[in-house]
Amino acid sequence: MSMAGSASVPSYQTLALTRAGRVLTIAFNRPEVLNAVNLVMHDELAEVFAFAGSDAHSDIIVLTGAGQAFSAGGDLEHLARNAARPELFDHEVTVARRIVLAMLEIDKPLICRLNGHAVGLGATLALLSDVIFAADSAKIGDPHVNVGLVAGDGGAVVWPLRIGFARAKEFLLTGELLKADKARDLGLVNHCMPLAELDAAVEACCKRLLRLSPQAVRGTKQLLNIELKRIVGSVLDTGLALEAASVRSPEHRAAVDAMRAKLAGK
């Protein structure tokens, strides 16, 4: 990471930051692999949310993905590395906790521009945002179980809060991906629209928020996040421990091997 000048934005390997007025946009920037999360991006996510929260030059944060996807979740080669050497996942447990806590510490509105599919950790990052605008071509889901993993990195916290336990259990236990319009109808995301209308909708929301008192907006968000932080405090550490155990399972290794074989056969 590098940064020059007080009003400049940091430079990352896997994330692209831009600022327009008082709006800071964070984009996952691995479009060639649908913005899948590898070790570098995972580490940088903890850094970028800490920066965004303390950035004196922005009042609104927009989270999105470069290219066609929002984020396809865990990078396959990264999953294979952890499956082969599961002790390496212990570092990610610490970083995953930092990511979630850093997001919840941000008192500025965090707007999600869901331009494409959001899967696994990608879905969790979207759902931890405050308002989600989704393209109708996007799908969202948390298929940890489909690769033999526990959905421990935040999904078990945020899905029930958005759609209730009965629905959250169905989707987390089956790993089903939802189309954006169904996600909107269930209350998982706020808005669904054609991709061509997404930018205008996000911009209108940002402009509306920027016209309001920053103190009032930030204080209201801090208040709303108190309960979310309480739930995270009671669930996240256990979730990460269970996921770390599942990384060491033969089912996970078999699932990763099957995915790699399928990809190699194409």
Q: What is the pLDDT of residues 244-262, one digit of tens each?
A: 999 999 999 999 999 999 8
Q: Is the pLDDT of residue 145 over 60?
A: yes
For residue 179, the enclosing domain spans: 15-264
User: Within 85-213, where are the H helices?
Assistant: 89-105, 121-127, 155-163, 165-174, 180-186, 195-210
Q: Is the pLDDT of residue 6 over 60?
A: no
Which residues are CB-contacts of 166 (< 8 A; sequence separation ≥ 6)? none
> Does residue 105 lie in a domain region?
yes
Res. 2 pLDDT band, cuts 50 70 90? very low
Q: What percent of the chain has pLDDT over 90?
A: 94
Measured distance CA(152)–CA(168) in Å, rounded: 13
Q: Is the pLDDT of residue 264 over 90?
A: no
Domains contained in the chain, number: 1
Q: What is the pLDDT of residues 12-52, one digit of tens each?
A: 999 999 999 999 999 999 999 999 999 999 999 999 999 99
**pTM of the predicted model as reported, rounded to 2 decimal places:** 0.95
Measured distance CA(131)–CA(34) in Å, rounded: 22
Average pLDDT, the chain: 95
Q: Which pLDDT score, from 0 to 100, does residue 266 have?
A: 64
> Does residue 121 lie in a domain region?
yes
> Does residue 155 lie in a domain region?
yes
> Does residue 2 lie in a domain region?
no
Q: Is the pLDDT of residue 8 over 60?
A: yes
Q: What is the pLDDT of residues 58-85, one digit of tens each?
A: 999 999 999 999 999 999 999 999 999 9
Q: What percent of the chain has pLDDT over 70?
A: 97
Q: What is the pLDDT of residues 114-131, one digit of tens each?
A: 999 999 999 999 999 999
Measured distance CA(103)–CA(145) in Å, rounded: 24
> Does residue 166 lie in a domain region?
yes
Amino acid at 239: G
Token match 């920027």: residue?
210
> Does residue 10 lie in a domain region?
no
Do 257 and 79 meet the contact criterion of CB atoms below 8 Å apart? no
Q: Which pLDDT score, from 0 to 100, does residue 263 have?
A: 84
At 60 the three-state DSSP class reads: strand
Measured distance CA(265)–CA(204) in Å, rounded: 46
CATH (domain of 240): 3.90.226.10
CB-based burial label for 56 (10 Å; 0-12, 13-18, 19+):
exposed
> Does residue 9 lie in a domain region?
no
Measured distance CA(191)–CA(75) in Å, rounded: 28
> Does residue 182 lie in a domain region?
yes
| Rounded average pLDDT over 162-187 | 98
Measured distance CA(213)–CA(211) in Å, rounded: 7
Q: Which pLDDT score, from 0 to 100, does residue 180 have?
A: 98
Which helix (H) or strand (E) element contains residue 41? helix 39-54
At 59 the three-state DSSP class reads: coil
Which residues are CB-contacts of 35 (< 8 A; sequence separation ≥ 6)? 28, 29, 65, 66, 67, 69, 70, 71, 72, 122
